[in-house]
Structure 1
Amino acid sequence: MSVTEHSKSELEQELAEAMVRVLELEVSTDEIDPDAALFGEGLGLDSIDALELSLEITRRYGVEIRGEDDRNDRIFASLRALASHVQENRTK
């Protein structure tokens, strides 16, 4: 299945757009597989990217993701995992 065949929820699409814009990624939102890893072999994000994305998520959705949170590996595992965390904790 190609990446473009993966369907994204509205929130996953919003987060993918924020990632491309805030992190200045050289991929389109259609190229971001919602189940693929965000770090390492997946999208290739790093800890600075996670910090910048966390700040955007806090600003836009009211969800604080702290750097020392033991759940961060799970929260940032994929776009789908991130969207799930934001959906469960959003205040905006």
Structure 2
Amino acid sequence: MDTLEQHLKTLIVDALKLEDLSPDDIDAAEPLFGDTGLGLDSIDALELGVAIRKTFGIKIDTVTEDVRHHFASIDNLAAFIRAQQGNAQE
């Protein structure tokens, strides 16, 4: 498993205090929000956004369709973070 994806899973469990889940319980491709997948809500999204900004030092714009896409799954979040970190190094 990719290190960034594992780090994101751990961050989600810890930041959102999901005591009944372990990072290994989260499928990197499953939806994070809504009625399927992990089932996170808008409050969780705010808390997760803050944790990601603090942990990875990246900027997250206000809620747009792009941001919704980035937060759709662990895989999408990892791709977004990699892109942001790549842009910061240029």
Unaligned runs of 5+ in 2: none
Richer in helix (by share): 2
Query: Alignment length, in residue pairs?
Result: 85
TM-score under structure 2 normalisation? 0.85
- Deviations for 1:2-59, whole angstroms, at most 9, x for unmatched residues? xxxxxx3100000100000000112110110000000111101011111111111111
Residue equivalent to 1:17: 10
Find the aligned partners of 1:88 and 1:35 in 2 and give their Cα distance.
18
TM-score under structure 1 normalisation? 0.84
Paired-residue identity, %: 40
Residue equivalent to 1:3: none
8 Å contact 1:35–1:80 — kept in the other structure?
A: yes
Does the residue aligned with 1:14 lie in a helix, a strand or coil?
helix
What is the RMSD computed on CA atoms of the aligned residues?
Answer: 1.6
Offset of 1:67 from its aligned partner? 3.2
